[in-house]
Structure 1
């Protein structure tokens, strides 16, 4: 009875179920963000600002002057043509090598695969030097041909031409196509190949209808990577001594280091960055579409 007469106690405040905000995730995020800003964003911003400098201050005169030059248009065309030609060559040669290594067993295939992996660790100028020793005007191949034919003139003289640059880039960048394809072929169920062969499918038909559809994402990834790398390649062009082969990276080097035209070099570098970013975004869209279509099927 006494308990009933007592005044009811005030209701207790509801306890909050929200966890206390922690600053640890933000603290862990800051170092990589600051590193990206310092390594990538800051240099690109400085280059962009440098490209707007003129004798009178800042403006767009440098951009107008550089982009209207015939040397820029020639370098842009040369860069794109060499990159596309090298990428196509890498795709054809890399696909062939990957198919042979994955489905045509032969003695020494493991050694060949390890040698291909070794090329990935080498700098590009070593391949160019090897090309010079082999196919240069005084190289081993020309010396051998001269001994056979008795001619004093070099039979091969392509190293300092766009063809020489393309062949050197194909030799160096083909492993970037072979390795993703070998990884894709390794995940392909062998039972699927056996079933296709037991149904009367020829090796070419099995390759075309069973193997390659599974390898398209890997082929697209390898080809896109090669295209990005060849688009920005400078060492091979420099070490081949191809004076007439002026690409955008070579032109940037000439404007920035040789003639010390920093604003002009910054304009060319900005164009190079925009070209690479556009290509990368296009690759991401294509890759997302390919993986999406595979999931739907």
Structure 2
């Protein structure tokens, strides 16, 4: 046998060719159903509203946008919506922080019952809170009836439900649990040893609260406040059931344009503004929450 024949590798010794990889389509198939649900429930309504805002019988979609956005009713509704939402968020943050601190760090009989009642409010529709306010503080409610019996004056002493103050108080009552619950979860993860060490070093309760407790609760506080801001900006049931006819917010104006006057292009323009406002706030909330999380991890 010649040398070249000996040095030449045989066909049996040649390495096998790697088999072609077959693409696994199962993850794609499992992704399609939830993706279609999201597209149908969330994306399609938004696209439809944006489309309707530019579709008019005369094909003058731009004129509708300028007419609606330049109207005084839109400016008043936008300002009133932001004012009520910001005021409600401020009230929810103050009241929710106070309730969460008391429930987490001040033991008292019945604290668990109070916590369960706060959780129960999360399951109730908003108009029930408004009806309760009407029965209590309405012009013919229980409080006005008691004041009239004590003073003899038949004129209602309390008449604030149909004003922005009544809407703000109702929203604070309904949305405060959305701040309390994240704060309680954050306080539950706070090491008790850290509080004991701070107290043993002579720190006052206010200093422990300000320098130990609240810094750990900022992400939960920001999350709860951002959620309440989004919910109050889009709240319609409380405004409707308080009978506040003079309190026209953006959702109430959308309802009036779309259902009462049947101005669908104008309602679509207002709804587009509402969607853009909500999405902007949501993106800002995600950025703030990501910054808080990164700072906490670092």
Calculate the TM-score normalised by the size of structure 1.
0.96
Residue by residue over 1:215-245, the C-alpha shift from the partner in whole angstroms, topping out at 9 and shown as x without a partner, is 0000000000000000000000000000000
Deviation at 1:9, TM superposition (A): 2.1
Q: Which residue of 2 aligns with 1:91?
A: 93
Segments of 5+ residues of structure 2 without an aligned counterpart are: none
Deviation at 1:33, TM superposition (A): 1.0
Note if contact 1:173-1:226 (Cα within 8 Å) is conserved in structure 2.
yes
Structure 2 residue aligned with 1:76, among 53, 75, 78? Answer: 78
Q: Which residue of 2 aligns with 1:286?
A: 288
Q: Which residue of 2 aligns with 1:149?
A: 151
Q: Which residue of 2 aligns with 1:40?
A: 42
1:65-144 equivalences in 2 (<5 Å) = 65-144=67-146
Deviation at 1:187, TM superposition (A): 0.5
Alignment partner of 1:250 is 2:225: no
Q: Which residue of 1 aligns with 2:62?
A: 60
Give the Cα–Cα distance (whole angstroms) in 2 for the partners of residues 281 and 96 of structure 1.
28
Give the Cα–Cα distance (whole angstroms) in 1 for the partners of residues 230 and 20 of structure 2.
47
Deviation at 1:149, TM superposition (A): 0.8
Note if contact 1:47-1:270 (Cα within 8 Å) is conserved in structure 2.
yes
Q: Which residue of 1 aligns with 2:273?
A: 271
- Aligned residue for 1:9, secondary structure, equals coil
Give the Cα–Cα distance (whole angstroms) in 1 for the partners of residues 46 and 225 of structure 2.
26
Give the Cα–Cα distance (whole angstroms) in 2 for the partners of residues 112 and 18 of structure 1.
64
1:192-231 equivalences in 2 (<5 Å) = 192-231=194-233
Q: Which residue of 2 aligns with 1:49?
A: 51
Give the Cα–Cα distance (whole angstroms) in 1 for the partners of residues 17 and 145 of structure 2.
89
Give the Cα–Cα distance (whole angstroms) in 2 for the partners of residues 17 and 139 of structure 1.
80
Give the Cα–Cα distance (whole angstroms) in 1 for the partners of residues 91 and 153 of structure 2.
32
Q: Which residue of 1 aligns with 2:28?
A: 26
Segments of 5+ residues of structure 1 without an aligned counterpart are: none
* Number of aligned residues: 296
Calculate the TM-score normalised by the size of structure 2.
0.96
